[in-house]
């Protein structure tokens, strides 16, 4: 692979698409420079400073409004790695608005993921464990002295750090005692009142000492008057935590069923760094195996990588950014593109803020079915034929993306097909390209591509591209 090809592969996995402009920007100093630039996203102006309040409806922030804001940020951001990490950790911690039916709590949860997505894993784990949405999601707000609730203690071991089989039931029972008293509450007149119901108003972590079991606990062979912070420290000090997180990280960003030696090498760097997430990401990015034939164009695109990436490659992300800037702080009563992309990824099997259960989404081949393939193909219709957006109030029609400017340099069926393939970062052999050109020619009535038929041409070609086996892989 050339340096440019490796950079494109890097951006498909750790960015939000490898458009020609993205490859040019990140790859101008070669692969190493691209890795450095991706990881140093804190020095980049995000290009998205829209307050979540902009998405309120009648001054209310419900989970769907938070969802629209999150999709808008994915589309408009100039920090693609940051948002990709947010999605990864969202899947890892898998907190759902299905139960946490509070826009305020889910917005705070997403912001917690964003703030800590590339820092130390222990800081991220601690922040999420004290997050009101998580405390309610896994019932730790019900975990009190004398009546320990083991739900959170079990999941922090099974799903967040160690994995199945690497702890005992006794470890869970004792850890649950350590987490007693960890809850959330609201502030009134300078006092914080603990809650046990849905945190609908802005809430904060509460360490209710009166509900904390102060007795000695034995966790992983260590004994002491542990609290939740102590247990998190014990978990992050275990070698298995680095192995578990590194394995899951590799499968999400590189390929499934990685070789144990690869995971061990990456995990060792992660652990030696004190569980620095950027070190973990760099270890994957710099691995020879990441650029191997087993990896390149071999990972089935999840719905975010399919829908958000194609929208950005078409230029819809900039349209979203411009539209938000034009609101000048005024509420967005309807915002078509983020809502459409959210509805699309939901139909493809991945609706952000609504993971199916505590273990997150089923990945890989689970993304592909007859129904989801239909939705992937239909995205071409939304782009070039227009789309409906349904809100609680009503359904409205949004206009199609104007295709003719794409074809200005070569308004022939051949030029149109090649441009669509280039825009969406696809690769096809000569036989498939002939099929795409034939489809473009038929849509153009065997003539030139014109302003009158350009969208019909783009739609016909994009449908074939989006439905092709090759395009399902990043």
What is the pLDDT at residue 245?
99
Quick: pLDDT tens for 157-168: 999 999 999 999
Mean of per-residue pLDDT scores for the chain: 95
The set of residues, in sequence order, having a beta carbon less than 8 Å from that of 88 and lying 6+ positions away, is 117, 249, 252, 253
What is the pLDDT at residue 456?
98
**Per-residue CA distances from 325 to 54, 328, 354 (Å):** 11, 6, 28
**Per-residue CA distances from 426 to 170, 252, 382, 417 (Å):** 52, 21, 19, 11
| Nearest residue to 57 (alpha-carbon basis) of 327, 391, 389, 397 | 391
Quick: pLDDT tens for 432-443: 999 999 999 999
Phi then psi dihedrals of residue 395, to 5 deg = -110, 135
Centre a 10 Å sphere on the Cβ of residue 467 and count the other Cβ atoms it contains.
16
The set of residues, in sequence order, having a beta carbon less than 8 Å from that of 441 and lying 6+ positions away, is 413
What is the pLDDT at residue 190?
74
Quick: pLDDT tens for 360-369: 999 999 999 9
Q: Where are the domains of the chain?
A: 3-44+97-291, 404-472
User: What token pair was written down for 334?
Assistant: 């309807």
What is the pLDDT at residue 131?
98
pLDDT value at 426 more than 70: yes
User: What pLDDT band is residue 391 in, cutting at 50, 70 and 90?
Assistant: low
Distance (Å, whole) CA 225 – CA 442? 75
User: What token pair was written down for 44?
Assistant: 């980049």
């Amino acid at each position: 692979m050339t340096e440019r090809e490796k950079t494109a592969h890097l951006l498909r996995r750790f960015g939000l698409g490898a458009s020609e402009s993205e490859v040019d920007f990140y790859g101008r100093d070669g692969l190493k420079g691209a890795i450095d630039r991706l990881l140093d996203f804190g020095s980049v102006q995000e290009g998205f400073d829209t307050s979540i309040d902009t998405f309120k409806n009648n001054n209310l922030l419900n989970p769907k409004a938070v969802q629209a804001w999150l999709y808008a940020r994915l589309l408009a951001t100039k920090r693609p790695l940051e948002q990709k990490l947010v999605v990864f950790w969202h899947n890892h911690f898998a907190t759902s608005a299905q139960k946490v039916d509070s826009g305020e709590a889910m917005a705070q949860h997403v912001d917690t993921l964003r703030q800590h997505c590339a820092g130390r894993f222990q800081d991220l784990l601690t922040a999420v464990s004290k997050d009101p949405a998580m405390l309610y999601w896994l019932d730790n707000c019900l975990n009190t002295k004398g009546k320990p609730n083991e739900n959170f203690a079990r999941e922090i071991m099974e799903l967040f750090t160690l994995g199945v089989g690497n702890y005992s039931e006794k470890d869970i029972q004792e850890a649950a005692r350590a987490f007693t008293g960890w809850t959330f509450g609201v502030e009134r007149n300078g006092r914080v009142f603990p809650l046990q119901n849905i945190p609908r108003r802005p809430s904060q972590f509460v360490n209710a000492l009166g509900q904390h079991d102060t007795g000695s606990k034995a966790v992983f062979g260590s004994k002491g008057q542990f609290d939740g912070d102590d247990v998190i420290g014990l978990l992050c000090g275990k070698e298995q935590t680095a192995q578990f997180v590194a394995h899951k990280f590799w499968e999400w960003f590189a390929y499934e069923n990685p070789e144990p030696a690869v995971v061990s090498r990456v995990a060792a760097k992660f652990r030696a760094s004190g569980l620095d997430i950027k070190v973990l990401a760099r270890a994957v990015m710099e691995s020879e195996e990441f650029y191997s034939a087993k990896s390149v164009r071999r990972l089935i695109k999840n719905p975010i990588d399919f829908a958000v990436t194609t929208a950005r490659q078409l230029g819809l992300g900039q349209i979203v950014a411009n539209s938000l800037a034009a609101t000048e702080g005024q509420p967005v009563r309807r915002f078509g593109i983020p809502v459409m992309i959210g509805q699309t990824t939901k139909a493809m099997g991945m609706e952000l803020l609504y993971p199916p259960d505590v273990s997150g989404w089923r990945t890989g081949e689970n993304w592909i079915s007859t129904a989801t393939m239909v939705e992937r193909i239909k995205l071409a219709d939304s782009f070039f034929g227009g789309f409906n957006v349904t809100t609680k109030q009503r359904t409205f029609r949004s206009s199609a993306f104007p295709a003719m400017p794409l074809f200005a340099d070569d308004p022939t069926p051949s030029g149109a097909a090649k441009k669509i393939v280039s825009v969406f970062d696809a690769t096809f052999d000569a036989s498939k390209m002939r099929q795409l050109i034939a489809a473009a020619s038929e849509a153009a009535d065997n003539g030139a591509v014109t302003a009158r038929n350009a969208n019909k041409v783009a739609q016909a070609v994009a449908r074939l591209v989006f439905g092709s086996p090759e395009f399902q892989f990043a």
